[in-house]
Structure formats: structure tokens, C-alpha cells
Amino acid sequence: MGLSRREFIKRTAALTAASCAGVSLTLPQAEEAQAFDADEWVRGSCRLCGVGCRVELGVKNGRPVALRGVPDSKTNFGYLCMKGMLFYKLMGHPDRLTKPLYRKSKKDKFKEISWDEALDIAAREFAKAVKTHGSDSVAYYGSGQALTEETYLFQKVMRGGLRTNNVEGNPRLCMASAVGGYLTSFGADEPIGSYADIEQATCFFLIGSNMAEAHPVLFRRVMRRKLDNKDAVKVINADPRISPTSRVADLHLQFEPGTDLALLNAMAYVIIEEGLYDEKFIGQYTTFRMGKKEEVSFEEYRSFLRDYTPERAAAICKGNITPDKIRTAARWFAKSNATMSMWTMGINQRKRGVWANNLIHNLHIITGQLMKPGADSFSLTGQPNACGGVREGGGLCHILPGHRLVKKDKLRHQVEDLWGIPRGRIPAKPGYHTMAMFTAVNQGKIKAIWINCTSPAQSLPNADLYRKGMAREDLFMVVTDIFPTKTTELANLVLPTAFHFEKTGVYGCTERRSQLTWKAVDPPGEAKPEVWIVREWALRLAKELDDPVIAKCVAPFVGKEEQYELPEAIWNEYTQKLTKGRDNDLRGATYRVLRQRPDGVQWPAPTEEWALKGGTYKKFVRGMDPLADEHAKDEKPYQFYGPAHPDKKLWIWLRPHKGPEEMPDAEFPFYLSTGRVIDQWHTASMTGRIPELMRANPYAYVEVNPRDAKRLGISPGDMILVESRRGRNLLPAKVYEGPVEGMVFVYWYDQHEDRLINRVTKDAFDPGSKEPEFKICACRIKRVSGPKVLKPYLASITT
């Protein structure tokens, strides 16, 4: 008797899972079971985090019906997390924005309008601002979730067309310090190694990252590596909060927030004093630096570190830190065959985030724990295309596509020439960085802003201050998004966009890997891909401002079909022209190649031949990285050709310990830190609309250490007022051995005004990277009442 349809689907499910785990199942009729469940499987990447898991969307009668991981993909080997598995439910969600919406005044209700009207209004308002107040009165604020083609085209129109470098994006809030760290330590942005190092590492140093919840599929690989090599592999987790990540740790270093610079310097001290450093590597490839131009000696570095003996550092770090723990961590780090560090926002979102990045890199440089298999200093990215789109595609105010600095005349002119626009068209001065941009909004200096695929009204620190600016009646604000958000509440014009798999384009994940997602289903209603929106807007702008150069910026794309041809044409221009000769050379990663590969291509990939093999797994290694061979100056196996270090060496930095901007005091005695929870992502505009995910965490709470709770008479579920010098929240308590004593921790996804924690956080920022110190500020907490029934909340739009 034949199997039932459900039985076939179950077998498909089992076979797919088994193929990921390398378990062989012998099931009758296995062949027939495959391909029974969908008309077509379309390949792409997960929409959510920066891991970049490869997925296939099963489509039936034009609707998404199933999702599966891609077992051949080196990012995830077929595994997905629950968030990743469910994002396709957002296609066809009833809350989707499906029509352009407009209101002249922010006090009015929105009215549905046509695309023609919407694009005319957007063009008229931006043109009016430019004519009346100059080019720098307009701005674009984008996202590490926009496709590379989108970021590239937006910034091209803003810089080349509207003559402003006011181009920013939310990656400024999450990885700008990592960029600063890579550039100043290695001379080139983005990690040297890859995820593949995980399977070869024998020591993991996880600091400032709750990988288990924020990057679950990658964490699975760390966990697998540990389970398979229980004694041989050591895991060190350094974090002020015990999280699910700490579960696999052999050593948990729980320090007080903001003391990590001392900890990292103390580890370096032990490595130097105990002779655990790699003298040959240091001699061949490195220099020591106090400032950019000030070179110092090894002895000076050694004497600088004397301020950070384990005893002194333990006294600064407090928590559970002892001199012995610091010594153990340093020895494991240095002596292991291959050490891999991974970190995220705990390191980056700091007043001294770049320094913290430098000090992790220092540990790798002095021990030579780089370039060899399994060894790397590897910053994890939070968003799926912060690296590919924003870091590489020119999405920040000071960088042009292909890792070019705006302020360098030669590089700016290169871009102008490649775009075929007059030299001098792109201003020489970088634009406003994110915090300066929203300060300028507050001051009324910016008159028109385009916000794409992100929600600064919720995600900026000290949010109330900046929401006031966004609410100004003399600011025209366009928002392109798929759902209503806290930011659409402040917009004049809301434009509905196509979601992932409803359009075509490339995401570049954490490990320099570019992956293509192919359109599989139609967007709902009148939602449109951003690339179409920008092109049509630019053509209207050219007329309004009577400026043919604006039209020139989009001329190569006019007449192209919008779903496949248009993004491909943009990608071709970007990769073939703008990345040629740059360290992120992507010329080989054509759509043709990307479609053939299960997991995209890692740059540098100058030729299709190289790209078809997957590209470059390790940068700077001769024989592995084509650019290392091309730029080789000598016979040494490693060649550091990065654009930021003229001496082509790695720099070991002398960076002193510095605490956070705001320390707890008598009035505000607690540290406040914020972060993610596994089932919610960012501002929850997406995950909050998936009932299965919302159910697990319907609202944010404040985690309080049990000893603090006892002292303050707080029981689980009690309503707690969390207050800082900037704002307050009222949240239920979770009494939990997570945060170190004296610290509270709040999830930042909740959109409810009472629980929107960025009303409380501080907007101090790193002077180098300009990334805000979300992770640390001072607050006080007070029990207000017993438990209350709370409702989940999501922003909506009324028309």
C-alpha cells in the first residue's frame, strides 16, 4: 500500500535532518518522499541574524509552505534555529504594509496614495530641502538588513546625485567599533578567518557575546566541537552576565561591566611575563603603537602592561575574577594549538569599543594565534548584511563602496570616475555619523530624511531625546519598511517594500561571504523592491532639481525589469567596477556563480574561477588568498596588504583601561545592560508578529541578581521601575543568577512605551567609531507592585 501524503512529508523531514547530522537512515520509498512537499524550492539566506544560514523556501501554488536548511552550505550545514525557520510566516502576514501612506502633518492620520503621488512627494520634499537649505540638509539612514544592491544604490544617489555624504545606517550602532578595531590592528576591515576555523580550534575565547541566543546555529558548532573533544577543547566565556552561552564554558570570567580592558591587558601581561608569546611572529609581522604615528618598543609594551598584573586587574574587574582565573585564561589562550575569539555587542557597544577590539586582537597577535587553521580573532555580526551592504557597499558617512575613505581625494575621484560623474561631485567631508545625524535632526539642520528598513525611534539610545527631533513638523521623514514600527509613527510618508524572497539580492554575512537570495513569491499588494523605489525617486529628483547628474546615477538601470534584472545590473556595477582592485574584490561573485554555489562566495574573489571554488577562506595567507600572492613583497607566508597600514604590518596597541562614561553612584547605584533573547530579534517588528516566537517572550523583563532582589525585597514577576537620568521603564522582574551583583539586564525588543529600554540607555559614544555605549549606564531600580497582567504590544498605523 502507498504511503499517505503526511507520511511522505514526515520522511522528508527525517531525511533532511539526518543529512545535516550525517546520520544515515534507511527508509523505504525515500526517493519518492523527497520533492513531494513543494512545487519548487528556491534558495536564499535566512532573513534574520548575521550568521547567514542558507535556506530553501518551498513554494506551492505561489505561496511559501515549507523551509529547509541547505546541508551543503558551510555556514549552517543545513541547521536552522526556530527564528530562522519561521521568518517565512511574515510573507502574507495581515499586518504587512501594502500601499503608500502619506500625511502632510505628523498630527494627521495617514491616507493611502498611489506610487506616482508618493514618489512625487518624496522627490519634491528632498528637492525643496536641497534648494532651500543645501545638500547637507538631507540624509539617508539605512540598515544592515537591506540588500547590498539597495544600500549601494541609495548611497550612490545621495552622494553622487544629491551631493551629500549624509549616508548612515544602523550598523553604526552595532559593529562600527569592530570595523575600527580591524582597521587599526590589522590594517583591513573584517575577519581574517572563517566559521570553518571553529572545527579546528582547541580554545574558544567568547567575550561580550551571548552567542547561544544571538547566533544559535554558529554556537551549535562550538558546542559540537566541545562535546566531541571534551578534554582537548577549552571554552572560556567572559561576560558580566551568566547566559546560556556560559553553559559549555570550562571557565566563566564574570567581571563588573566596563572592566574588560583591564582583564584583556592582564591576560597579555601573563602571556608576556610567562614567555608564552610568539617571538618570531612578533618580530616578523608586527609593530607596537601608542598612537597612529607613535611607534614604541616591545620593552615599552611590557612596561605598560605592568599596570595590569592579575592582582591589580582582579581588583578592578571584581565579580568572580581572581588572579588565578586570569592566569588560567591567559595560559589556555596562548598554549592552545589554535585559539578562536568571538565577540559581539558587549565589546563593540562601549565608550572604548575600538580599544576593546584592539586588546582582543593584541592577544592573538602576540601569541601568533592567527592565520593558522582554527586560530582567529573573529567579530560576530548581528545583522544579515551589515558586512556586505553597509561595511563594503558604502553605507556609512565616511566610507565609499569598496572600503574607500571619503576623505581620500584619490579614492573619491576613483568612485566619481567609475560612476561617470564630474569630479568634485561627492563632497570631500564625511557626513554626519548616526548620533550626529539625529542630533542634527533635533537641531532642525536636517529637513528631509529617508529611513530604510530600520527603526531608530526604538533602537537609538536615549530614544526620547531623538524621537523629539523625528517628530518635528519641519522634518519630512520617509520610511520604507514591511511593517508599522515605532518609527513609522513619526513619518510623513510610509512606503511598503518587498520582503526577503519577495525580491532578489545579496547579503554578505560575518565571514566575508556574499550569498544571493532569489525571488520566490510576489510581494503583497503594492509593495515594491527598494531598488525600484530609489530608481524612480532619483529620476523624479533629477527633474525637480533640473540636474542631469542625478539621472546619470541611475541611467545604467533605467528600463530594467525590477525583480531580477535590476538588482543584477546594480550588483554588476558594484562588483565589477567598484570592488576591482580593492581588498573586498568580488568580481568573481557574479549572480551566475552565486546561483551555482550552495553557500555563496568569500572575498577576495577576483575571478569567477576562484569564486566557483568558494573564494578565500583565510585572508593574508599566500597560496590561500590570491591578493596575498598578488601583493607579496617578500617570501614570507603571510602578507598584510590591508589599505590602512602603510607599513603592511599588524599593530599591537598600548591601550589603557578606561571605564564606562557613566558609573553607578549613590543616586543611580546599578549598572544597566541590554541585549537579546533567543526568540526575538532587534525591535521585534518581525519576530513579534510570529505568534510562536511572541508566545515564548511576549514582553521584556528586567533580570535582577537574586542577592540584589533579596536586599530590595523583589520577588519574581514584581513590577520594577528602572530609572536613569534619561528615562524610565516599568517592567516585570526576573530574579535570576544571570547578571553579576549590582547589575540589571533588560531585553531591548519590546515596543511598549513602558518597556522600551532605550528610553533609559545612554547616548555616550566611542570617539573613534562613534558607536554608542548601549551596554552600560547607571540606573536605579525600585519595586512598585506585585505582578501585573501585561499585554504584548506592537506599533500599528491608523489610516
Partner 1 sequence: MPIGGFVITVTPSKGQQAVRALSALDGVEVYGSGGDGEVIAVLETGTSKDMERLVDRISAMDFVASVSLAYLNAEDEMLQQ
Instruction: Report the alpha-carbon distance of residue 593 to residue 574 in Å, rounded.
Output: 16
Instruction: Report the alpha-carbon distance of residue 130 to residue 440 in Å, rounded.
Output: 15
Please tell me which residue in 174, 453, 509, 779 is annotated as part of the active site. Answer: 174
From the CB of 52, what's the least distance to ligand SF4, in Å?
6
| 693 forms part of the interface with ligand SF4 (CB under 6 A) | no
From the CB of 10, what's the least distance to ligand SF4, in Å?
22
Dig out the grid coordinates for 702 from the structure: 528586567
Instruction: Give me the residue label for grid cell 512625487.
Output: 120
CB 185 within 8 A of CB 177: no
- Of ligand SF4, partner 1, none, which one sits near residue 181, judging by CB under 5 to 8 A according to partner kind? none
What's the distance, CA 438 to chain centroid? 20
| 286 forms part of the interface with partner 1 (CB under 8 A) | no
Other beta carbons less than 10 A from residue 595's beta carbon: 11
Residue list 667-706, contact with partner 1 (CB under 8 A): 691-693, 695-696
- Of partner 1, ligand SF4, none, which one sits near residue 692, judging by CB under 5 to 8 A according to partner kind? partner 1
- Of partner 1, ligand SF4, none, which one sits near residue 227, judging by CB under 5 to 8 A according to partner kind? partner 1
- What residues have CB less than 8 Å from 398, skipping those under 6 apart? 165, 405, 406, 407, 430, 431, 433
- What residues have CB less than 8 Å from 427, skipping those under 6 apart? 135, 136, 159, 163, 164, 165, 406
- Of partner 1, ligand SF4, none, which one sits near residue 160, judging by CB under 5 to 8 A according to partner kind? none
CB 339 within 8 A of CB 205: yes
Q: Which is nearer to partner 1, 17 or 551 (CB)?
A: 17
- Of partner 1, ligand SF4, none, which one sits near residue 27, judging by CB under 5 to 8 A according to partner kind? partner 1
| 622 forms part of the interface with partner 1 (CB under 8 A) | no
| 738 forms part of the interface with partner 1 (CB under 8 A) | no
Strands 203-207 and 234-238: parallel
Q: Give the three-state DSSP class for 260.
A: helix
- Of ligand SF4, partner 1, none, which one sits near residue 128, judging by CB under 5 to 8 A according to partner kind? none
Strands 101-102 and 63-69: unpaired
Give the phi and the psi of residue 580 in degrees, each rounded to 5.
-60, 125
Please tell me which residue in 145, 254, 383, 563 is annotated as part of the active site. Answer: 383
| 14 forms part of the interface with partner 1 (CB under 8 A) | yes
Q: Which is nearer to ligand SF4, 33 or 81 (CB)?
A: 81
Strands 295-296 and 513-517: unpaired
Per-residue buried b or exposed e for 33-71, using 16+ beta carbons within 10 Å of the residue's own CB: beeebbeebbbbbbbbbbbbbbbbbbbeeeebebbbbbb
- Of partner 1, ligand SF4, none, which one sits near residue 53, judging by CB under 5 to 8 A according to partner kind? ligand SF4
Give the x-and-dash track for 57-96 against ligand SF4 (CB under 6 A).
-------------------x---xx-xx------------
Give how far Cα 746 sits from Cα of 294, 468, 695, 722, 726, Å. Answer: 41, 24, 18, 10, 16
Dig out the grid coordinates for 693 from the structure: 516566537
Give the phi and the psi of residue 20 in degrees, each rounded to 5.
-70, -45
Please tell me which residue in 142, 144, 382, 675 is annotated as part of the active site. Answer: 382
607: number of CA atoms within 13 Å, CB side?
Answer: 6
Can you tell me which of 46, 516, 601, 743 binds ligand SF4, judged by CB under 6 A? 46
83 is catalytic: yes
345 is catalytic: yes
Looking at residue 219, its amino acid is: F
Count of residues binding partner 1 (CB under 8 A)?
A: 54
The window from 28-36, 210-218, 230-238, 489-497 that contacts ligand SF4 (CB under 6 A) reads 210-218
Residue list 19-48, contact with partner 1 (CB under 8 A): 19-25, 27, 37
Beta strands, E only, 170-225: 203-207
Can you tell me which of 46, 48, 49, 80 binds partner 1, judged by CB under 8 A? 80
From the CB of 90, what's the least distance to ligand SF4, in Å?
13
From the CB of 570, what's the least distance to ligand SF4, in Å?
24
Can you tell me which of 217, 359, 451, 593 binds ligand SF4, judged by CB under 6 A? 217
Q: Which is nearer to partner 1, 30 or 551 (CB)?
A: 30
382 is catalytic: yes
Other beta carbons less than 10 A from residue 755's beta carbon: 24
Burial status of residue 276 (CB atoms within 10 A of its CB: 0-12, 13-18, 19 or more): middle
175 is catalytic: yes
CB 176 within 8 A of CB 357: no
From the CB of 493, what's the least distance to partner 1, in Å?
28
- Chain residues in the site for partner 1 (CB under 8 A): 6, 9-10, 12-25, 27, 37, 58, 60-61, 63-69, 71, 78-82, 84-86, 88-89, 92, 216-217, 219-220, 223-224, 227-228, 691-693, 695-696
* Residues carrying an active site annotation: 83, 174-175, 345, 382-383
